[in-house]
Structure 1
Amino acid sequence: MSIIAEFTIDSEEFIFGTVMAQVPNSSIELERIVPTSNAVMPFFWVESTEFPQFEMQVREDLHVDDLVELDRIDDHRLYRAVWSEEVDPLLEGLAQTEAVVLEGYGHENWVFRVRFQSHDRLAEFYNYLTANDIILHLDRVFSLTSKDSGGYTLGLTPEQREALVMAYERGYFATPSEITLQEMADELNISSQAFSKRIRGAELKMLDQFLNSMETDATD
């Protein structure tokens, strides 16, 4: 059964956080981590008022071999970084345990919500960090979804449920749409990209549950 772990960590405890904390007036949201044969490539969104300074300082860091801008949405930019041979232990630990980063954001302090395939994988990740002297604060661990007599629990986070309910009640799914992502995001004091990610995450979980239930019904 999939396990969700929520934890916080100081930026000084991992290289990626240290590099990103160098630039003031910016916030970082980790999108995903892609392991390769000899490197780990983090993909991440940046919200900043100083993009030229951000790019210059990250490219000058010895831990980063390359930084590529991939996309722009409003005042956010999506980047891919190619890490040097000195791999970030936190990112390496997530990659080795095949963890999926559902949320990872911060500047001086970071908040993570990560999905592991099992309790054993979570234990493997924790032991890896301990061996590398990385201190994190494990806030909560819970199962992703469960099936009971009342049906399926979708495993939505409170933020995803809030966004989904708001979008439904305000007519976002109507044709034509009666409200924009930006308008809803402004009400929650978050970026439109963050609100969109919550909606997409909720929709993917609901679709996954629906398709799994169809497969179960077909085999009964």
Structure 2
Amino acid sequence: MSVIVEIEVVASDFELGRILDLVPGTRIEVETMVPAGERAVPLFWVFNSDRESFETSIQEHGSVEEITEIDVFEDRILYAIDWDVGTDRFFGAITDNGGHVLAATGHTDAWQFELRFPSHEQLSAFQTALEDARIHHQVARVYNPTKPDAGPWFGLTPTQREALTLAVETGYYDIPRNCTTVELADKLGISDQAVTERLRRAIVNLVDHSLLVKDEES
């Protein structure tokens, strides 16, 4: 049975945390992150940051190929960053043990991750790898998605839950549709492209944490 872990990692102990070096008061919410091979292109929102200094600090890192602005709003910016994930032992430990990043939020000193592993054994191997790499971390919670104490949100991040709930309430999934992605984007303060991606990830997480887990058990 798969297992989900909520974990906090010291920002300075892994490469992406060092790349996205945050000043006090700045926050990052990862929209999409799928480490694979030697490349990874996460999309992430940056809140309350000085735009110029933030971008300059990222471009100074040798493992960063490119940082691209996707959407700019008054209080947040959506970026894509192309970097060499092979230099990051934290993400190496995730991929080596079959893990997936479900959600990630970064602050000045630490990042919070929600990770899914195929089994408790692979989660244990992941934690051993972090200890061997001297990556300081603290586990907040470990649970199986189908247990009663798994919580009501089935792996959805707050932003995914907000988007999916709004889409249902406004009739986006009705036939015929009573709402468009452009209208959802206006309500959420993001682009229609970001809405589409957020809904896609929400549905994947919802199925991942409910239907697929039950299939694995059977």
TM-score, with length taken from structure 1: 0.70
TM superposition shift of 1:205: 4.5
TM-score, with length taken from structure 2: 0.70
In structure 2, runs of 5+ residues without a counterpart are none
8 Å contact 2:64–2:82 — kept in the other structure?
no
Q: Deviations over 1:11-44 (max 9, x none)?
A: 12222212211567754344324343xx453524
TM superposition shift of 1:98: 2.2
**RMSD (Å), alpha carbons:** 3.7
Q: CA separation in 2, counterparts of 1:131 and 1:212? A: 30
Q: CA separation in 2, counterparts of 1:166 and 1:144? A: 24
1:180 corresponds to which of 180, 184, 187: 184
| Count of matched residue pairs | 199
- Could you tell me which residue of structure 2 aligns to residue 134 of structure 1? 135
- What is the aligned-residue identity percentage? 24
- Could you tell me which residue of structure 1 aligns to residue 154 of structure 2? 155
- Equivalent position amino acid for 1:73 in 2: D
Q: Deviations over 1:117-164 (max 9, x none)?
A: 1111100100000111112111111113369xxxxx983447355553
- Equivalent position amino acid for 2:17 in 1: G
In structure 1, runs of 5+ residues without a counterpart are 148-152
CA 1:194/1:25 → structure 2, altered by over 3 Å: closer, same or farther? farther
- Could you tell me which residue of structure 2 aligns to residue 72 of structure 1? 70
CA 1:9/1:194 → structure 2, altered by over 3 Å: closer, same or farther? farther
- Could you tell me which residue of structure 2 aligns to residue 170 of structure 1? 170
Give the alignment of 1:1-220 within 5 angstroms.
1-22=1-22, 26-30=26-30, 31-36=32-37, 39=38, 41-47=40-46, 50-62=50-62, 64-69=63-68, 72-74=70-72, 75-83=77-85, 87-108=87-108, 109-145=110-146, 155-157=154-156, 159=158, 160-161=160-161, 163-174=163-174, 175-177=177-179, 179-183=183-187, 185=188, 199-206=199-206
Q: Deviations over 1:27-85 (max 9, x none)?
A: 4344324343xx453524243654443333222224x252243x6134312222125x7
TM superposition shift of 1:2: 1.4
Q: CA separation in 2, counterparts of 1:212 and 1:157? A: 15
Q: CA separation in 1, counterparts of 2:126 and 2:153? A: 25
Name the one with the larger strand percent.
1
Larger radius of gyration: 1
- Equivalent position amino acid for 2:184 in 1: T
